[in-house]
Structure 1
Amino acid sequence: MKLLYTTLLVVVYIIPAINAAQCLSGQYPPKPERLLPTYVVNLDAPPVERWQDLASKYKVELKDLIAYLKTFLVEISPELQYLVDLVDTKLPAMADTLPAPYGDEMKGISQASGLPLGEVVLYNIFYEVSSLCTSIVGQDEKGNIFHGRNLDFGGLMGWDKINHTWALTEKLRPLMVQINYTKNGQVLFKTTTFLGYIGSLTGVKPGVFSVTINERNIVKGGYIGLIEWMYNINRNQSFITFAIRDMLTNSESYNQTVKYLAEVPLVAPCFYIVAGTKPGEGAIITRSRKGSDDVKLLGRDDLWFLAQTNYDNWKKQPFFDDRLTPCIKCMQEKGKNQVTFESLYNVLSSRPMFNKETVYTSIMEPATGRIEAYWQLCLDEEAPCRPW
């Protein structure tokens, strides 16, 4: 049934949109109401208290999302049924196995929202097994570095026939926020995330680096690492979004961040996209669970930008999900003299980089710590939207 459903989506949406790639202008700035709300998380507070006010504020949205997630989790892969089965048995105890401060932060979210701890853990480990994205790092003619990303999430998790989009994607939209993490009264780093999700998907440490994560679509992904962790087969590995937050908290340089993210053992394969503050500081780190399969650097071979979706960038992209080729073409069309918040937002607002799974676009400048994040919704009325 799942194969038939996917085939129908390819026939109805993908094939007509194959030649519908765009390279738009005039999309920036978006309307002010699309800017995501910003909240503060105080790292000087005890971990169990840090998220309680926000988790209480968003508890209805959190409960709605997780109820839906449990129901449709197995649509992604039959192997994930074990996660649903273990929500009430194994996952609550898993919080105590996580490195500090993550387990206690999840406990605080559970207490404030009224959600069972196992469901909060499920929500926070879900990215290890499912997501899509497009990330770009660009350097202008003066050597200034900019970093942009689309977060795509929720595909094959139930189709909303009324809104013609993914149902899980719609459940995530009310939870999209920007978080400023503070220490000693100062902003230490900034992220774009979903409320209640304590790992980092998109973040910038002002004056040091910015980072995004893309899922890597390969056989036998993060569910193997999750099994190893839950059954204490191998806990000498990091969760992929916790590794980012660890660096945002502790790293003092771009080089330190790249080295750590290239080498740390991981629960799941992924792509880390990192940008620094100086000319040439940009990298795409293609990760397996044990190490790096490739590190592509900004400036090498005269590259003035790097682009990454969810497939190895040195291989031919799949015809049903080639966002990389039109992204590269659009960046080249914009040119090196147009690497700005405006140009990156325009590229990321162009189809197929912008699609039915896209929930937000973030643009960052690591040198200044400036970050802007806007909710996105792809409408077929304007031009055909691919389902992913």
Structure 2
Amino acid sequence: MWRLSFIFLAIPLVLGSPTWNEGLTKAPRYSMNIDLPEEERWESVLQHWNVSEYREMARAVFDSFVNKETMQLLEIIAGSLDYYLPSPYAGEIRGIAKFFQMDVGEMVLYNLFYDITLSGGCTSIVAQDSKGNIWHARNWDYYFPATLRNWTVVVDFQSHGKTLYTATSFIGQVGVFTGQRPNAFTVSLNERDEGTILDDMIQILKALISDKTVFTSFQIRDALSRNDTATFDSALQRLAYHPETAPNYYIIGGVKSTEGAVITRARLTAVDVWRLDLSSGRWFVLETNYDHWKSPPKWDYRRSHGNKAMNAIGQDAIDLEAMLKVLSLPLVCNPMTVYTTLMSAAHPSSYATFFRHCD
């Protein structure tokens, strides 16, 4: 299993730049009609990518971390995809594999990379301003940042011409790591490093034979798409307590005062839910990749720099522009940062994802 290690240097905290949107490029945005058959619905998005170039880049990524045991497992899954993966994921993965002329097992691997590798960085923040608005912003950090920037898209999942939810995703991925259900909640995923590669494989096998356990990115999309999780509280309950294959942090924001939380997940349930609490002065929660009640490694300054910047801005002045500046600070934004997403469920039109190049 890979473990992500950042090499951090002490750099002074500077909040002056960049100004709002300056020098930033938005990720392309497309709509997908979920009323179409599962195998066809991603074609409107995929058609913007060169098939041979995508296939070559994808296989270079796969070859760098796949092992014999993983491929054997994926071959089993691919052989009975509809049996092992729930709708709509099996059909969508099959359709994407067909479009890019790749083996179904390869696309399964790509879609389960979080559960298999448990590798990633990320910084997520949910804050409430003095007027009661809830703002949510996140950096996604991962290996292969240049490749993943080429694959990053914003997708509006639509039915009958109406956007049901929006997600920032990577081409070929059917699950979600960053998303928003308008007027309901926003959510981002941060990696929590726990367990061994044997634990991963055991939990994946359990997920395959049990309809009570789901893969991590599917869990988020399920929460975004289900009518019974169309509120902050109901989404929090599902994300906190529905069994899944990998430990993680879910950072979730709502539309009402104090609707913001960091859910610290073990594989089967939450071990902690850390919520906004204005009575104790907690008007924001900031999560990187460590349990909030523990100190991060001395070489990782993301939490300390982020917290210091948020407190310097203050609750009266906080908004998405200010949070972008926090997520642009040296170390918080780093060479592995792929994108920054800004969102607010109560202001759904504010959803935007920007490519980052923080060397």
SS at match of 1:320: coil
- Give the distance between the partners of 2:202 and 2:119, measured in 1 at CA: 13
Corresponding residue number in structure 1 for 2:96: 109
- Give the distance between the partners of 1:49 and 1:169, measured in 2 at CA: 28
Per the normalisation by structure 1, the TM-score is 0.85
Corresponding residue number in structure 2 for 1:162: none
Deviation at 1:289, TM superposition (A): 0.7
Gaps of 5+ in 1: 75-79, 155-167, 380-388
1:132 aligns with 2:137: no
How big is the alpha-carbon RMSD for the aligned residues of Structure 1 and Structure 2?
Answer: 2.1
Corresponding residue number in structure 2 for 1:49: 40
- Candidates 156, 159, 177, aligned match of 2:153: 177
- Give the distance between the partners of 1:69 and 1:132, measured in 2 at CA: 18
Decide whether the 8 Å contact of 1:107 with 1:117 is kept in 2.
yes
Corresponding residue number in structure 2 for 1:245: 221
Distance 1:90 1:69, change over 3 A: farther
1:267 aligns with 2:245: yes
Letter in 2 for 1:115: M
Decide whether the 8 Å contact of 2:33 with 2:41 is kept in 1.
yes
What percent of counterpart residues are identical? Answer: 32
Distance 1:246 1:355, change over 3 A: same
Deviation at 1:86, TM superposition (A): 4.3
Distance 1:31 1:223, change over 3 A: farther
- Candidates 198, 205, 224, aligned match of 2:174: 198
- Give the distance between the partners of 2:261 and 2:255, measured in 1 at CA: 12
1:24 aligns with 2:15: yes
- Give the distance between the partners of 1:24 and 1:134, measured in 2 at CA: 17
Letter in 1 for 2:165: F
Alignment of 1:48-87 (within 5 A): 48-58=39-49, 59-73=51-65, 81-87=68-74
CA deviation profile, 1:52-100 (whole Å, cap 9, x unmatched): 23334323443133211222105xxxxx54224544x324135321111
Corresponding residue number in structure 2 for 1:160: none
CA deviation profile, 1:237-273 (whole Å, cap 9, x unmatched): 1111111111111122110000111110010000000
Distance 1:60 1:374, change over 3 A: farther
Alignment of 1:286-297 (within 5 A): 286-297=264-275
SS at match of 2:316: helix
Deviation at 1:222, TM superposition (A): 3.7
- Candidates 81, 93, 97, aligned match of 1:95: 81
Moved more, 218-227 or 300-309: 218-227
Which consecutive segments of 4 or more residues in structure 1 shift more than 3 A? 84-87, 221-224, 227-230
1:308 aligns with 2:284: no
Per the normalisation by structure 2, the TM-score is 0.91
- Give the distance between the partners of 1:138 and 1:374, measured in 2 at CA: 20
Corresponding residue number in structure 2 for 1:376: 356
